[in-house]
Amino acid sequence: MRYRYRARTLRGELQTGEVEAPAREAAIEVLQRHNLVVTGIEPIEEAKGMGREIGIFQRVKAKDLVFFFRQLSVLFSADVPLVEALNSIAKQTKNSLLRRKIFEISADVDAGMALSEALSQHKDTFSLFVINMVKTGEIAGNLVKVLNYLAEHVERSYLLTAKIRGALYYPAFVLSAVVVVIIIMLTFVLPKMSGMFEEFGTELPLPTRIIVGLSKFFVSKGWILLIILVVGGIALFRYIKTPTGKAIKDKIEIKLPIIGTIFQNIYFARITENLGTLIRGGIPIVVALDTVSKVIGNTLYKEVLEKARDNVRKGETLAETFSRSEVIPPTLSQMIASGEKSGKLDRILLDISKFYNTEVDTAVNNLMSLLEPVLIVILGIGVGIVAAGVLLPIYNLAGSIR
C-alpha cells in the first residue's frame, strides 16, 4: 500500500513524498531508517471501479516468478544491496499481488530477517523447494549462484509448461469451433431443411434421419443437455480438488496414451533435478526427499517419495526403495544406484534430469506434428457426415422429379 508522508530531515528541512509498505507502521519505520522525522503520514486511496484488481481473483503466475528471480539474480550479482534490489523489483512488477508480497519481503529483510525466512512467510507463492534452496545459498555463502539457478529453473519450468499448453490449445480451439458450428447447424439450419424434406414425403436416407433426429433433440431438449454438462463440469472440478479426486486424476494423467508418457517424463525430470540440486547444495537426502514430495504436484509420485524418505531414514539406499516402485522405471533406479556407489549422486541425478527434459521436448514436438493430420481426418469425417446427411435427400428428390 502507498502512503503520502511529510517529514523533516536532521537539518530541519521539510520533505514530502510517497512510500510503499505493507502497513502504516512499516512505512514509518522505513522513513525513520532514512533519518527522517515523520510529521504526517496518510494512505493514498486506490482507484475504485472496474479497473481495480480484486484480491480474490489475483494470483501470482509462473511468468511473474520468472521475472522476479531473473531480476533479483541480476541485481544481486551486480552487488546491489538486497533490500534495494527487492524494492526496485517491486516497483517494476505489474502484478499487484506479487508487488505487495515483495514489499513485505523487503520490509522483513530490512528488519533483520533472512531472505529464506522472509520468503517462507509467503508459502502460497514460493514453494518449499525455493525456500530451501535460498536457505542453502545463505548457509553456504553462494546466494548469487543459487538465485541464478532459481531464475533458470523457474524459467525452464515455465517455458516447458507454456510449450505443452501451446501444443494443446490449437486442437482444443479447432475442436471447439467444430462443435459450435455443428450445434448451430443442428439447432438453426437443419430444422428448416427437415421441414422441407417432410413436405415432399420421400423416405430420407439413414444419415439424414440420424442428423434430423439429433437436430430435433437439440431444439427440444438441448437446454437439458447444457444444464447437465455445466453441472457435471462444476461437480467434476470440485471433485478433482478433493484428495480422493486428485489421486484418481493423477493416476489417469500418467496412464493416458502418448500424453501420459510426457507427464511421466516431466515428473521424472522434476524429481531428479530437484533432488540433485538440493543434495548438491548440502541438504540431507531425507530432507531433500521430504521437500520434493511436497512440491512434485502428483499424488502417486508424492507417495513414492514419502516412502523413499521413510526407508532411507531406516538405512536403505534411494535406489533400493525406488526399485520396488511400479511407477519408477528400472533404468532410473539403476542409474541412481550407480550414483550412490560412486558418491556422485547429485551429478547423476542432474544428468538424468537433462535426459528427461530432452525426452519431453522431443515428445511435445512429435505430438504437435501428429495433431495436425489427426485434426484434418476428424474434420473431414465430420464434414463428410454432415454433407452426406444434407446432400443425399437433395439428390434423391432431384432423381424423383426426373
Residues 302-360 have pLDDT tens digits of 999 999 999 999 999 999 999 998 889 999 999 999 999 988 999 999 899 999 988 98
In this predicted structure, the answer to whether residue 385 has a pLDDT above a threshold of 80 is no
pLDDT beyond 50 at 364: yes
Report in angstroms the alpha-carbon separations of 283 from 157, 217, 287: 22, 63, 7
| CATH number of this structure's domain 60-156 | 1.20.81.30
Residue 240: Cβ-neighbour burial (10 angstroms; 0-12, 13-18, 19+)? middle
Which of 385, 387, 186, 205 lies closest to 197 in space, CA to CA? 205
Among 33-37, 102-106, 277-281, 292-296, whose mean pLDDT is lowest? 33-37
- What is the tens place of the pLDDT at every residue in 158-173? 887 787 777 777 777 8
CB 279, CB 285: distance < 8 Å: yes
pLDDT score of 47 more than 50: no
Cα dist from 5 to 30, 112, 115, 183, whole Å: 11, 24, 28, 61
Phi (first) and psi of residue 41, to 5 degrees: -150, 135
pLDDT score, position 402: 53
Q: Which CATH number fits domain 175-402: 1.10.10.1200, 3.30.70.2860, 1.20.81.30, 3.50.30.30?
A: 1.20.81.30
pLDDT at 55: 47
Average pLDDT over residues 43-55: 50
**Residue 234: its pLDDT value, please?**
93
345-359 burial by CB neighbour count: b if 16+ within 10 A, else e? bbebbbebbebbbeb
With pLDDT > 70 as the criterion, what percentage of the chain qualifies?
A: 91
Q: Which range is most confident: 143-157, 172-186, 279-293? A: 279-293
d(CA 301, CA 12): 63
Alpha-helical (H) ranges within 34-126 are 62-77, 82-92, 96-110, 115-119
